[in-house]
């Protein structure tokens, strides 16, 4: 029996083992990161609004989110009677599952990456767009009109904003001539791509904000209109999973932005994962700063903005990039 196990283990390539290890570590990182980000969000919001923010639990209130998480953990899971039970229960899981996968290819450092796939960037975008299924299912299966409206908005928004997101990322891919993150970061040896591609970087950041349903693009959960949007009926840990997914998604899009435009783990000195994390958190801070400054767009304006402004500009930028690359090369 033991021999069988050993041979089975041996037959698995080392890649699989690193992947399993990476996933387990990612799972831990996701939790800690979300705890930190929620705390950071609340602190940033508080100080922008002349408040203190979480302060009581732990040093600087750092453990506040943990306590909130514990509270959500012990809360009752309410399933509305008219809800479609199976879909209602499964969608929080569905929203959380795909946010783990991108961690496999995120280039934290030159040696700190689970697996550098040649199509790494594509993998992230593929899985990032899966969140919308879960939101649609969750909103629809709640059998709540507000949740349904939120879910419908979410789908339209995600479809519209994925296009400029991909177009702006493609400009970088054209420059690096690869979709592998190691190659992309390697291509930014001297100058970060943000200086070659400022338009693409801005479009990517706007699109990423919309993709993660954050203000001013938070119309799927627009609390002043739709109460809580697609997660109106969710409570306890199910709600927490939506929440966790949102903050992890934020981390992922910021990581991708760092790798694509801001030189990844490279810094002025001592290249390493610390540079990567620093840049990611600075980007996240900017996203938070934006959230606590602007009002929310209206749904149709959001669409107009995506189709009439972002997509044409992103497309023009991509064509220009291709043209210039052709001429230079």
Partner 1 sequence: MTPQAMLDPTHTLSEDTFYLNMGPQHPSTHGVLRLLLRLSGERILECDPVLGYSHRGQEHIAQNKTYLQFLPYPGRMDYLSALMFNHAHCLAVEKAAGIAVPERAEYIRVICAELNRISSHLLWLGAYLMDLGAFTPFLYCFDDREDIMDLLLPVTGSRLTYCYSRFGGVAKDIDETFVTGLRAFIKKLRGRLKDYDKLVNKNVIFINRTRDVGVISADMARAYGLTGPCLRGSGVAYDVRRAEPYSVYPEFAFEIPVRSGGDCLDRYMVRFLEMEQSLRIIEQALDRLPQGPVAPAKPVRVVKVPAGDYHCVYESARGQVGIYLVSDGGKNPYRMKWRVPSFSNLSVLPKLLVNTLVADTIAILGSVDVVMPEIDR
Partner 2 sequence: MSEFTRYLGRIASGAASLVSGMEVTIRYMFKPVVTVRYPRLRLDIPEGFRGPVELVTDPETGDHNCSACGTCARVCPSGVISVQGGKKKAAGQDGEGAKAPEDPFVITDSFIIDFSRCSLCGLCVESCPRKALRFSHMYEQCGTSRQVAVVDLVARQKALAAVGCEPAASRPGPQQQAAA
Contacting positions for partner 2 (CB under 8 A): 44, 46-52, 55, 289-290, 292-294, 309, 313
Dihedral (CA of 131, 136, 137, 142) sign: positive
C-alpha separations of 326 from 174, 198, 319 in Å: 10, 19, 11
Residue 281 burial class via C-beta count within 10 angstroms: exposed 0-12, middle 13-18, buried 19 and up = middle
Query: Which partner from the list partner 2, partner 1, none does 219 bind, CB cut-off 5 to 8 Å by kind?
Result: partner 1
Contacting partner 1 (CB under 8 A), which of 132, 149, 257, 311?
149
Work out how close the CB of 294 gets to partner 2 at its nearest, in angstroms, rounded to a whole number: 7
Work out how close the CB of 193 gets to partner 1 at its nearest, in angstroms, rounded to a whole number: 28
Indicate the residue among 206 and 280 with the shorter CB distance to partner 1: 206
Structure tokens at 2: 């033991």
Work out how close the CB of 285 gets to partner 1 at its nearest, in angstroms, rounded to a whole number: 15
Distance CA 205, CA 125 (A): 14
Indicate the residue among 17 and 60 with the shorter CB distance to partner 2: 60
Backbone angle region of 123, left / alpha / beta, with phi > 0 → left and psi within -120 to 50 → alpha? alpha
Indicate the residue among 44 and 100 with the shorter CB distance to partner 2: 44
Angle between helices 145-176 and 236-261 (to 10 degrees): 20
Choose among 162, 122, 167: nearest CA to 314.
167
Site for partner 1 in 221-280 (CB under 8 A): 222-227
Residue 119 binds to partner 1 (criterion: CB under 8 A)? no
Contacting partner 1 (CB under 8 A), which of 6, 15, 49, 115?
49
Work out how close the CB of 294 gets to partner 1 at its nearest, in angstroms, rounded to a whole number: 5
């Amino acid at each position: 029996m033991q021999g069988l196990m050993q041979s089975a283990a041996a037959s698995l390539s080392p890649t699989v083992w690193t992947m399993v290890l990476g996933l387990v570590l990612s799972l831990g990182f996701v939790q800690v990161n979300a705890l930190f980000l929620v705390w950071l969000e609340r602190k940033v919001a508080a100080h922008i609004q002349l408040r203190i923010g979480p302060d009581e639990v732990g040093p600087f209130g750092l453990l506040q989110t943990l306590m909130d998480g514990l509270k959500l953990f012990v809360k009752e899971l309410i399933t509305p009677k008219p809800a479609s039970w199976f879909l209602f229960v499964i969608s929080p899981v569905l929203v959380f599952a795909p946010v783990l996968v991108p961690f496999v290819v995120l280039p934290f450092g030159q040696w700190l990456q689970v697996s550098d796939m040649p199509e790494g960037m594509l993998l992230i975008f593929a899985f990032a767009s899966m969140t919308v299924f879960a939101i649609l299912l969750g909103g629809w299966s709640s059998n709540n009109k507000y949740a349904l409206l939120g879910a419908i908005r979410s789908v339209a928004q995600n479809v519209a904003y994925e296009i400029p997101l991909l177009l702006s990322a493609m400009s970088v891919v054209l420059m690096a001539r690869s979709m592998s993150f190691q190659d992309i970061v390697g291509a930014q040896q001297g100058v970060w791509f943000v200086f070659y591609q400022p338009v693409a970087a801005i479009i990517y950041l706007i699109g990423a904000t919309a993709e993660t349903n954050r203000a001013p693009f938070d119309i799927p959960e627009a609390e002043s209109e739709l109460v809580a949007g697609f997660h109106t009926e969710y409570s306890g840990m199910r709600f927490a999973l939506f929440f966790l997914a949102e903050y992890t998604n934020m981390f992922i899009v910021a990581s991708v932005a760092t790798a694509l435009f801001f030189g990844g783990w490279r810094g002025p000195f001592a290249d390493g994962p610390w540079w990567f994390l620093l840049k990611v958190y600075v980007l996240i801070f900017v996203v938070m700063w934006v959230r606590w400054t602007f009002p929310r767009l209206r749904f149709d304006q959001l669409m107009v903005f995506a189709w009439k402004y972002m997509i044409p500009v992103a497309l023009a930028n991509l064509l220009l990039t291709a043209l210039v690359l052709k001429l230079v090369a």
